[in-house]
Amino acid sequence: MFVCPNCGGNLKFDIPSQQLSCEYCQTQADPYAFDDKAEGSFEKLDYEVTVFSCPQCGGEIVSTDTSAAEFCTFCGASTILHSRLRNEKRPKYIIPFKQTKEDCKKAYSAMMKKAIFAPDVLKNPKYIDSFRGIYMPYWAFHVTQQSPFSLNATRSKRRGDYIITDHFDLKGNIDAYYKGLSYDASSSFDDSISQKIAPYDVKGMKAFTPAFLSGFYADTADVPAEEYQNQAENTAAENSIQKIYGTPAFSGMEISGSLGPDALNTQTKEVDSTMFPVWFMSYRNGGRVAYATVNGQTGKVVTDLPVDVRKYVTGSLLLAVPVFILLNLLFTLMPSTLLIITTILAAISMIIYFCELGTVKKKEKLENKKTDLGLITAITALVLGIGITILQPVSDVFYYGGAIISLCAVFCTIRDIIHYYNILSTRRLPQFDRTGGDDNA
């Protein structure tokens, strides 16, 4: 806790002013003024935090505040988190929050307005208020390239009946510096989210001091930097190679020979631990959880979007009825044509169903426990539709009956498709098996 010099209240980091501000008397203070790093002649490597851990999933977040945390961000459980003190390694840099909670709620709500089939709870203001500011640990790689390079190239032009080809020996020197190629250093923060929520502008990085965390939480770094070194160097190399090939003087040339990270003398000069700001919210439904995140620097929204089956079916029916009536007014559909159309629709929905089931199985390693209702009706509809079309019974009743069954099949299959879509757009409840003990014990 950071104590107000004026009234003794709690100072929290205030986003608009980028200063510490007192909750009671609005006194402002410089975050760096509270750093005891300057005292003592040696560099302080640790700082004290309260560790909050979830009794349900084992997820951990830390804070410089001691007030109780009442829900878990990772699994969405509402439960008082266990707390204890621990010393954490200081990151070197931090990008302080630029987007306030109000900005974040506005950006999220604007996005959800377009998500008409999302469950209502995701748009409920009370729920949206549960956005929590969390600093996520990242590794920032500083990569250099200093090396001569050479490539072969040709350029051809046509003159009359001749094609004239010039050969070139392209030589150059590369001197590149990549500052702050960043990679998510926390195993509890899904890499798929951290990639989508990027980029962060590393020009906003400031020297870390614990006071920036006041009023916020932080996740801890538990993935070693080495894990990302190759990736960072390859990214730098790819980018430079593209730049070299795209040089205006080389335009129209057919360049042969290739450059790799080694040819450019790509080297990681330094890796810094940093913290980047994320507004984070979780929605728990049964055994699944969905995350909504907002980049705390740029305001970019990345969210899992489950679909409410009831809303979707109502919406599609409301749309299908007028379309159907319109079709009937424009073209007089023969009962046999109608049956063919609906049978084709049933077949299409079945194909989509199987494609999606395949993706879900790949992602979740699901076993096929039961056959879905949609699938049974779809197969029945297909057999009936084809059978009736081949047999060509005299009475129209058969065609209409077949068409109705096919449409039912389409709806049942769509319901199952949404069910699987929701599995894809949400996550399993996390289970962190951190063994508890202090890292530096």
Q: Which residues form the interface with Zn ion (CB under 5 A)?
A: 4, 6-7, 9, 22, 24-25, 27, 54, 56-57, 59, 72, 74-75, 77
Q: Give least dist CB 390 to Zn ion, A.
A: 57
Q: Give least dist CB 421 to Zn ion, A.
A: 25
- Using CA atoms, how far residue 231 sits from 44, 119, 181, 266, 419, in Å, is 31, 38, 10, 12, 36
Closest CA to 213 of 50, 103, 28, 36: 50
Strand-strand pairing, 266-285 and 28-29: unpaired
- Using CA atoms, how far residue 375 sits from 197, 275, 308, 357, 386, in Å, is 37, 48, 20, 11, 17
Residues in a beta bridge with 99: none
Q: Give least dist CB 76 to Zn ion, A.
A: 7
Q: Give least dist CB 188 to Zn ion, A.
A: 10
Nearer to Zn ion, 415 or 434 (CB): 434
Q: Residue 246 and residue 234: Cα distance in Å, rounded?
A: 18
Q: Give least dist CB 51 to Zn ion, A.
A: 14
Q: Give least dist CB 59 to Zn ion, A.
A: 5
Residues in a beta bridge with 138: 184, 274
Nearer to Zn ion, 6 or 389 (CB): 6
Residue 411 host element (H or E) = helix 396-425
Q: Up-side HSE of residue 280: CA atoms within 13 Å toward CB?
A: 24
Q: Give least dist CB 209 to Zn ion, A.
A: 20
Nearer to Zn ion, 57 or 253 (CB): 57
Kindly give the residue spans of alpha helices, DSSP state H, lying in 46-178: 101-114, 125-128
Nearer to Zn ion, 75 or 107 (CB): 75
Nearer to Zn ion, 65 or 356 (CB): 65
Q: Is 179 helix (H, G, I), strand (E, B) or coil?
A: strand
Per the document, the length of the chain is 441
Nearer to Zn ion, 13 or 228 (CB): 13
Nearer to Zn ion, 59 or 91 (CB): 59
